[in-house]
């Protein structure tokens, strides 16, 4: 048995003393008394977790979503808004935002789908294999990369290079519209299915859209659809069609 002083000391540091079960004292085994630990002495891990999971932390500290602004005082304010954007989840996971690059007074605006791995690292659109092919395509009609402006439907890399979701593209729409307004290009080259569908509000196959003449909805700006260079790398036979697109593009710019 503990003395009264020992019991008082244990209670002071939060330890519940053992107590004998009265109803089993007479039937206790020979090797010692039957004892039990009071319930209060057992730590309740579920009630007092030491660490929180990432999901719990995220739930306690949610990212505040701020819709993209619709008015910009200048080109610099537009680019700053893109870099600080928290309108959707894409910005939470990308290395950096990719607003675009090139001549801000260009006659030709090229709109792709979204940044890939290389673009996410360098902060510049079309810099991987697709970008190298795009540069060669432009050079074939006498246009240098520095003479055009290149951007994408979304300004952040989608995870695993997946297609941007419709809601993600919609959040970026104000940035793209502001870029088009400030650049005021003579022609827009829409590169790939995601770009064409978002710019035209269409769901027709790219093969059909390529065969048609378009204007950017709500404007008089001619819009030419062509295959994405990544598609051409996978399907070299389609390069003949892309070459016809480039020749027509050259005529549209003259």
Same domain, 142 and 191: yes
% of the chain beyond a pLDDT of 90: 68
The bridge status of strand 214-215 relative to strand 149-152 is unpaired
Res 205: pLDDT: 96
Instruction: Give residue 73's pLDDT.
Output: 87
At 100 the pLDDT is 97
- Secondary structure of residue 109 in the 3-state scheme: strand
Mean pLDDT of 121-133: 95
Are residues 152 and 80 part of one domain? yes
pLDDT at 43: 43
Write down the mean pLDDT value for the chain. Answer: 83
Task: Tell me the β-bridge partners of 35.
Answer: 20
Residue 122: half-sphere exposure toward Cβ, Cα within 13 Å: 13
In angstroms, what CA-CA distances link 172 with 86, 164, 176?
11, 10, 7
Report if residue 51 sits inside a domain.
no
β-pairing, 187-191 vs 108-112, is parallel
Shared domain for 182 and 215, answered yes or no, is: yes
Mean pLDDT in residue range 118-127: 95
pLDDT digits (tens, 9 = 90+) for 87-107: 899 988 899 999 999 999 999
38 shares a domain with 70: no
241 and 122 within one domain: yes
d(Cα 107, Cα 151) in Å, to the nearest integer?
Answer: 14
pTM of the model: 0.74
Binned at pLDDT 50, 70 and 90, residue 14 comes out as very low
218 and 186, same structural domain? yes
pLDDT at 69 over 50: yes
90-94, 208-212, 228-232, 249-253 — which is least confidently predicted? 90-94
- Cα distance between residue 95 and residue 5, in whole Å: 63
At residue 72, φ and ψ (nearest 5 deg) are -130, 135
Give the pLDDT of residue 28.
46
- Do both 112 and 194 map to the same domain? yes
Q: Are residues 19 and 70 in the same domain?
A: no
- Does the residue 222 lie in any domain? yes
Q: Which CATH number does the domain housing residue 239 bear?
A: 3.40.470.10
Reading the block at residue 98, the tokens are: 């990719």
Domain residue limits at 20: 1-24+34-43
Q: Is residue 49 part of a domain?
A: no
Q: How many CB atoms lie within 10 A of CB 209?
A: 21
In this predicted structure, the answer to whether residue 24 has a pLDDT above a threshold of 70 is: no
How many domains does the chain divide into?
Answer: 2
Q: How confident is the model at residue 181 (pLDDT cuts 50, 70, 90)?
A: very high
């Amino acid at each position: 048995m503990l003395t009264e002083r020992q019991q008082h000391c244990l209670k002071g540091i939060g330890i519940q003393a053992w107590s004998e079960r009265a109803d089993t004292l007479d039937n206790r085994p020979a090797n010692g008394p039957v004892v039990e630990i009071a319930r209060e002495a057992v730590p309740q891990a579920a009630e007092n977790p030491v660490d929180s999971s990432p999901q719990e932390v995220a739930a306690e500290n949610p990212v505040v979503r701020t819709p993209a602004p619709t008015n910009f005082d200048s080109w610099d304010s537009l680019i700053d808004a893109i870099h600080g954007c928290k309108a959707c989840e894409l910005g939470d996971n990308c290395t950096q935002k990719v607003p675009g690059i090139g001549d801000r007074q260009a006659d030709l605006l090229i709109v792709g789908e979204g940044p890939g791995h290389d673009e996410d690292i360098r902060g510049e659109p079309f810099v991987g294999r697709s970008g190298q092919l795009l540069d060669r395509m432009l050079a074939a009609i006498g246009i240098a990369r520095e003479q055009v402006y290149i951007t994408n439907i979304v300004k952040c890399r989608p995870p695993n290079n997946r297609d941007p979701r419709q809601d993600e593209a919609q959040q970026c729409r104000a940035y793209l519209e502001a870029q088009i307004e400030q650049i005021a290009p003579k022609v827009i080259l829409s590169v790939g299915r995601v770009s064409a569908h978002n710019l035209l509000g269409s769901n027709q196959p790219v093969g059909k859209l390529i065969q048609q003449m378009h204007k950017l909805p709500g404007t008089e700006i001619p819009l030419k659809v062509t295959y994405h260079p990544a598609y051409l790398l996978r399907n070299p036979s389609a390069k003949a069609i892309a070459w016809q697109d480039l020749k027509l593009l050259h005529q549209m710019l003259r």
